[in-house]
Amino acid sequence: MSEPLPRRTNRATFDQLFTVGAAALAAGSHGIQTVPAEGGTRWGVSVVLRPDLRAAAALETLACEAAAVAGDGHWLTGAVDSSHLTMRALEHPRDDIRDDDPRVARYAEALCTAAAGVRPLTFDVTGLTLTPLSVMACAMPTDEAADRLCAAYVAALGADAWLENGFRRDIWYLNILHFAAPVPDPGALIGWVAERRESVPIRVRVTEVEIAAWRFTGTGMAPRRLAAAVLA
């Protein structure tokens, strides 16, 4: 099993994403999110970091502004009740998760082991970028604690870390708007994001790590907490 590498703290990946995302929007070939179903590969049980309420409110404001430019029908992923950084995806979507689910119990036990003695995590959101699927907030960890926690969790999961063993997450980020419909004026959205590629940092503080399943609310995906570990 490979140990996850530290995620990048430079802007190169976010710059590359902007180039690719802007091109997809301009061509009308950007992705369209659909409600996940059993057998899909996105929005399964995941481990997420939820921002503090002050930061979440600031990110929701940006998400609403992005939605106003993008047009109707998109998912407001940056709303306070759904804002998150993904630490690791654990499985594909399924509908049979009960309160006594044995897999979730193992994920939670591993999380308690990895999070023992870990203090709250901090990130700075330094601006926005585009991807072919979303408007994304760029998060820079203020130290190595988040990456160390991620590595400790992979070690504690053992075989249950299978889903992302061949996949490397090389940035920390929060998607604030997922495209779920056409964008009537892609140039306007590209320009709006371009003007916000760098901004006054929003400090994000994370005091809990959450294991979550996802449900569709009608305006996007929201997490359903299955377990959590407090960072103290």
Domain ranges of the chain: 12-26+40-230
pLDDT at 78: 97
pLDDT at 10: 78
Distance CA 177, CA 77 (A): 5
The one-digit pLDDT tens for each residue of the chain (232 residues) are 556 668 877 789 999 999 999 999 999 999 999 998 777 889 999 999 999 999 999 999 999 999 999 999 999 999 999 999 999 999 999 988 999 999 999 999 999 999 999 999 999 999 999 999 999 999 999 999 999 999 999 999 999 999 999 888 899 999 999 999 999 999 999 999 999 999 999 999 999 999 999 999 988 999 999 999 999 8
pLDDT at 227: 98
pLDDT at 76: 97
Distance in Å from the first CA to the final CA of the chain: 29
CATH number assigned to the domain covering 12-26+40-230: 3.90.1140.10
Full-model pTM: 0.94
The SS3 call for residue 64 is: helix
Distance CA 27, CA 56 (A): 32
